[in-house]
Amino acid sequence: MSRILFRSSVLAMAVAATACGSNNDDDGQVNIPSDPPVNERPEQCLEDPLNSGYCLVWADEFSGEAIDSEKWSHEKNCTGGGNNEAQCYTDAAANSWVADDMLHIKAIREDATGPNQIDDDPNYDPNDTSGSGTYTSARLRTKGMGDWKYGRFEMRAKLPFGQGSWPAFWMLPSEWKYGSWPLSGEIDILEAVNLKVGGEDRIHGTLHYGDAWPGNKYSGEAYQIPGGLNPADDFHTYAVEWEEGEIRWYVDGDHYATQTKDGWYTSADLDNANAPFDESFHLILNLAVGGNWPASVNDTGIDESAFPQEFVIDYVRVYQCSEDFDTGKGCASTDGEFVLNPGTTPPAAPDGEETTVFDGEVKAPYQWLTWTAFGTVDFEVVDTGGDYGDVGQITWNTDQGIGFFQSTDSYDLSDYTYVEFDLRVLAEPGDAGSASLTFRADCGHPCSSGDYPLDMPAVDQWTHFQIPMQELADMGLNTASVNTPFVISPGWDNQMGAVLQLDNVKLTK
């Protein structure tokens, strides 16, 4: 049964006056001093602060007869969690329930269908059955009912085991201020996969941050409980303490890892050292089945004979630091024997008066990419001879396609004044009378300059373009976080047959 222990306030007792310490009035009466004032409990706290300074602000002891709908909501979808997982998440009583003062989340081998979008997607339809899974399970969250910036987030639980099992206690941003995953961050308090398979006994604490895929980053540490204990054999307490600029991980009170702002970032705001872990997050409890990570540990696939499996949670508690609620600082606990994970520092901005993107060859860190709704946009390097030599030649075999230079990471280009390039039209699109040309620069969807129209040059004539970075910024480009400084295309729905040549693509100050 769950129990919460609180520190009680101790009131000072009045002491009778003695011969050498009495406080007598002239009439001989003894004045006994009144009790000293008791500090008022901070309004955020449900009970008096603990000795560490943390005080309880939210808890679920799972002592009722049902899951508390004022604290948790169920996500219901069959999206595979973005990791090719095999489960559909449901709100069925067979997949999650409260009994014996415990929350039970159960993964069951059974075919299911459901929505093929996550619950927060604007196109989410609870009646959609286009998604499917071969297991059912549950994913609960506190979003909109429990959202916090900074604090200690703690769970006591017994984990499931077997090939394909993936329990997690973690946090996601509630408002996604910095953009879609992982630009706004993710805090994994506890994850484990395939426990007991091949002796697997590790748990993991991880952060996700950085740029949009494929520029996403993660850093974390694995931990083994002392004494060879397996997390699937008994209950253990898992927690993070999160304060401004620092996050710490604990198992049964043992501080095993720390990460700091020196090792995380979001490409959406490279100037903010605390971002993205400076906004409100909510809690998530789920049991996934299979997926990319379990398949790469110990074995591959899923061992159907291991299921059903249960993730059993005794309690979840949230504390905040009464020393400083705004920053969460002043209540840290550590034994000094943890791993300081360096994380990943943000990419350095390009240096020099100009940065070349293409001059007959694509320059690192950029690469040439294309996107089409159908057909192809073909790119090749050709030798034109004369002054230009090798140039990039782009052929549109579609009416809806773009070509672009993109880097894996985003860079701060706010010190640059222009995007410059030379362009020659070898062939206009099919409807030459309405031919047009469009440029743009992107800073990770949905951040973009939008379409910047260019005059279509005469055929077979090299033309130099110099596009002011400030004009792109005025149109919506975040110049402090650019991963795609060059996107080119003829006008939409009139591209087929167009052939362009490019050279001397660069950023200049």
Percent of the chain with pLDDT over 70: 92
Q: How confident is the model at residue 335 (pLDDT cuts 50, 70, 90)?
A: confident
E strand or H helix at 472: helix 469-474
pLDDT digit string, tens, across residues 373-399: 999 999 999 999 878 999 999 999 999
- pLDDT at residue 204 is higher than 50: yes
- pLDDT at residue 408 is higher than 50: yes
- pLDDT at residue 13 is higher than 70: no
Alpha helices in 242-309 (DSSP H): 292-295
Q: How confident is the model at residue 28 (pLDDT cuts 50, 70, 90)?
A: very low
Give the C-alpha separation, 408 to 386, whole Å.
Answer: 34
Sheet containing strand 401-407, edge to edge, reads: 366-372, 401-407, 484-490, 437-442, 452-454
437 exposure class (CB count in 10 Å sphere: 0-12, 13-18, 19+) = buried
Residue-averaged pLDDT of the chain: 91
pLDDT value of position 412: 87
Beta-carbon contacts of residue 385 (< 8 Å; ≥ 6 apart) = none
pLDDT value of position 334: 83
- pLDDT at residue 27 is higher than 60: no
Single-letter amino acid, residue 100: D
- Taking domain 54-340, whether its CATH number is 3.40.47.10 is answered by no
Give the C-alpha separation, 314 to 63, whole Å.
Answer: 9
What CATH number labels 354-508? Answer: 2.60.120.260
Give the C-alpha separation, 422 to 164, whole Å.
Answer: 53
Q: Which residues are catalytic?
A: 186, 191
pLDDT value of position 15: 29
Residue 478 and residue 443 in contact, taking contact as beta carbons nearer than 8 Å: yes
φ, ψ for residue 293, nearest 5 deg: -75, -55
pLDDT value of position 39: 59
Structural tokens at position 20: 């050498």
Q: How confident is the model at residue 20 (pLDDT cuts 50, 70, 90)?
A: very low
pLDDT digit string, tens, across residues 69-94: 999 999 999 999 989 999 999 999 99
Residue 136 and residue 94 in contact, taking contact as beta carbons nearer than 8 Å: yes
Return the percent helix, strand and coil in the chain, to nearest 5.
Answer: 5, 40, 55
Q: What is the mean pLDDT of residues 104-132?
A: 96
- pLDDT at residue 31 is higher than 50: no
Q: Do domains 54-340 and 354-508 have the same CATH topology?
A: yes
Percent of the chain with pLDDT over 90: 80
Domain boundaries, the chain: 54-340, 354-508
pLDDT value of position 268: 86
- pLDDT at residue 406 is higher than 60: yes
Top pLDDT among 385 and 154 is at: 154
- pLDDT at residue 10 is higher than 50: no
pLDDT digit string, tens, across residues 338-354: 999 999 998 887 888 89
